[in-house]
C-alpha cells in the first residue's frame, strides 16, 4: 500500500505537505476530502475535518501539515533541516511565516476579486464536497466560512491598502532572492521552503488574480512555486548550480531583505496575540490535555497591533505559537555562541523578539489534536 494524501489543489496547508512528499520521493496517491473514505475511514482518527491528512503505508492517520512533515523528518535523519544554527532558525522562521504570517494577503487576493476568481474557486470548493444532494449548499457554506475567515485575519476596507502594499513589497523582495538562488537557503529546499509554499501555492500562486500578479511581477517566485512541485531540483536557469544549502551557515542578504518586510506585521501581531492568549489563559482554567482550538472562545479573542501607523485587528490563534515553539526549540538547543550569532542576525529586523515571545502554556500535538500541556 502506498501513502494516501487527503488534500485538494486549492488548500493552503495541503500545498506544504504535498511538496514535501514530492521533493522527498515519497510515493503517494491524492484523494479529495470529498472522497467517501475521508468521512468513513479517516475522520474518526483525524478527529478534525481539516486537510491535509496522511494515511501512511501501514495505515497510521496523521492530520496536520507540520505533523506529516515531522513524521518523515524524524524517521529519516531530518533531510530538510539545515545543520548549522543560523540557517536552522531561518528555516523554522519561514515555516512559521508560511503557516501564519501571510494569511491576510492569501485570503485577500482569493476572496476580494470575485470577478477574476469566483468560478475557479467554485470548481474547487464543489469538488471538495461529497457527492450528496446538498453538495451545492455545502459548497456555498464553506465558501462563506472562508470569506469570513479573511475578515477574522484582519482584511477589511480600511486595512486592504496596507495588506496589498506589504504583500507587493514582500513579493518583490522574494523575487530578488530567487533570482540569486533557487531555494531559500541555497540549492535544495528546507523546512522553511515547504512552509512558505503554503500561501504562495494554493492561493497566491494559483488563484487567477494573484497568479497574474506573480507571473507578471515576480517570475522568479513563480518559478520557485513550480519548482517546489517538481521532484527534480529544477534549476536549469542557474548555470552554476550547487546541490546543498549554502556553505558556512550563510544567510543571503536577499533573504534578510524579505525578512525585513515580513517582520513589520509578524512581530507586532505575534506579541499582541501572545498577550491576548495569555490573558485568556489567566482568566480560564484550562486543564492539561484540553484542546487548543484554532480560536479561543467563539472567535472573540482578538488582538490589536499597529503596522505603519495603522491599527490592525486579527484573531489570536494558538497555532501560531505551536509553530513559534519550533523556532524557539531550535534556539534553546544552540550553544551560547550560536545563540549570540542568531540574535545578531535577527536583531536589525526586530525579529529577536520572537525568540522570547511565548505563551504561558506550551502546545503539543497529541492524537491528531493540538493540546495545552
Ligand X SMILES: N[C@@H](CCC(=O)N[C@@H](CS)C(=O)NCC(=O)O)C(=O)O
**Could you list the residues that contact ligand X (CB under 6 A)?**
11-14, 49-52, 64-66, 319
CA nearest neighbour of 155 among 167, 163, 145: 163
Instruction: Please report how close the Cβ of residue 308 comes to ligand X at its closest, in angstroms.
Output: 28
Using CA atoms, how far residue 308 sits from 156, 163, 315, in Å, is: 16, 11, 19
Instruction: Please report how close the Cβ of residue 251 comes to ligand X at its closest, in angstroms.
Output: 25
DSSP codes, 197-265: HHHHHTTTTTSHHHHHHHHHH-HHHHHHHHHTTSSS---TT-TT--SSBPGGG---HHHHHHHHHHHHH
Judged on CB neighbours under 10 Å (0-12, 13-18, 19+), 109 is buried
Instruction: Please report how close the Cβ of residue 62 comes to ligand X at its closest, in angstroms.
Output: 10
SS3 annotation, 334-370: CCHHHHHHHHHHHHHHCHHHHHCCCCCCCEEEECCEE
Instruction: Please report how close the Cβ of residue 328 comes to ligand X at its closest, in angstroms.
Output: 18
Nearer to ligand X, 64 or 269 (CB): 64
Instruction: Please report how close the Cβ of residue 121 comes to ligand X at its closest, in angstroms.
Output: 13
Instruction: Please report how close the Cβ of residue 167 comes to ligand X at its closest, in angstroms.
Output: 19
Nearer to ligand X, 51 or 303 (CB): 51
302-307 and 61-63 beta bridge pairing: unpaired
Helix (H, G, I), strand (E, B) or coil at 3: strand
Q: Cell digits for 290?
A: 484540553
Residue nearest to ligand X (CB): 50
**Residue reference for cell 532558525:** 89
Instruction: Please report how close the Cβ of residue 145 comes to ligand X at its closest, in angstroms.
Output: 7
Instruction: Enumerate the β-bridge partners of residue 53.
Output: 6, 63
Instruction: Please report how close the Cβ of residue 6 comes to ligand X at its closest, in angstroms.
Output: 9
CA nearest neighbour of 173 among 249, 266, 263: 263
The H or E element containing residue 65 is helix 65-75
Nearer to ligand X, 54 or 351 (CB): 54
Nearer to ligand X, 17 or 345 (CB): 17
Integer Cα distance of 152 and 104 in angstroms? 9
Instruction: Please report how close the Cβ of residue 11 comes to ligand X at its closest, in angstroms.
Output: 4
Using CA atoms, how far residue 22 sits from 135, 186, 226, 230, 252, in Å, is: 31, 19, 12, 7, 26
Nearer to ligand X, 13 or 349 (CB): 13
Amino acid at each position: 500500500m502506498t501513502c494516501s494524501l487527503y488534500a485538494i489543489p486549492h488548500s493552503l496547508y495541503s500545498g506544504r505537505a504535498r511538496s514535501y512528499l514530492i521533493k522527498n520521493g515519497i510515493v503517494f496517491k491524492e484523494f479529495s476530502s470529498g472522497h467517501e473514505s475521508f468521512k468513513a475511514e479517516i475522520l474518526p482518527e483525524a478527529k478534525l475535518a481539516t486537510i491535509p491528512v496522511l494515511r501512511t503505508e501501514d495505515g497510521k492517520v496523521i492530520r496536520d501539515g507540520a505533523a506529516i512533515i515531522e513524521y518523515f523528518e524524524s524517521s529519516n535523519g531530518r533531510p530538510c533541516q539545515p545543520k548549522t544554527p543560523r540557517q536552522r532558525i531561518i528555516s523554522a522562521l519561514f515555516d512559521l511565516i508560511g503557516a501564519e504570517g501571510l494569511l491576510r494577503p492569501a485570503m485577500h487576493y482569493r476572496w476580494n476579486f470575485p470577478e477574476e476568481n469566483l468560478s475557479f474557486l467554485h470548481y474547487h470548493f464543489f469538488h471538495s464536497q461529497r457527492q450528496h444532494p446538498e453538495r451545492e449548499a455545502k459548497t456555498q457554506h464553506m465558501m462563506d466560512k472562508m470569506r469570513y475567515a479573511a475578515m477574522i485575519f484582519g482584511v477589511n476596507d480600511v486595512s486592504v491598502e496596507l495588506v496589498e502594499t506589504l504583500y507587493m513589497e514582500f513579493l518583490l523582495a522574494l523575487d530578488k532572492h530567487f533570482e540569486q538562488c533557487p531555494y531559500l537557503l541555497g540549492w535544495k529546499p528546507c523546512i522553511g521552503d515547504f512552509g512558505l509554499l503554503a500561501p504562495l501555492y494554493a492561493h497566491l500562486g494559483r488563484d487567477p488574480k494573484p497568479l497574474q500578479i506573480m507571473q507578471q511581477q515576480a517570475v522568479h517566485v513563480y518559478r520557485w512555486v513550480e519548482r517546489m512541485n517538481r521532484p527534480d531540483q529544477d534549476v536549469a536557469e542557474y548555470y552554476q548550480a550547487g546541490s546543498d544549502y549554502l556553505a558556512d551557515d550563510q544567510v543571503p542578504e536577499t533573504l534578510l531583505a524579505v525578512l525585513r518586510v515580513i517582520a513589520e506585521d509578524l512581530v507586532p501581531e505575534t506579541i499582541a496575540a501572545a498577550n491576548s492568549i495569555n490573558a485568556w489563559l489567566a482568566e480560564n482554567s484550562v486543564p492539561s490535555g484540553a484542546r487548543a482550538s484554532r480560536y479561543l472562545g467563539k472567535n472573540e479573542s482578538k488582538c490589536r497591533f499597529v503596522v505603519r501607523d495603522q491599527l490592525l485587528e486579527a484573531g489570536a490563534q494558538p497555532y501560531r505559537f505551536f509553530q513559534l515553539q519550533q523556532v524557539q526549540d531550535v534556539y534553546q538547543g544552540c550553544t551560547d555562541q550560536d545563540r549570540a550569532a542568531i540574535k545578531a542576525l535577527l536583531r536589525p529586523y526586530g525579529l529577536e523578539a520572537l525568540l522570547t515571545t511565548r505563551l504561558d502554556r506550551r502546545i503539543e500535538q497529541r492524537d491528531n489534536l493540538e493540546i495545552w500541556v
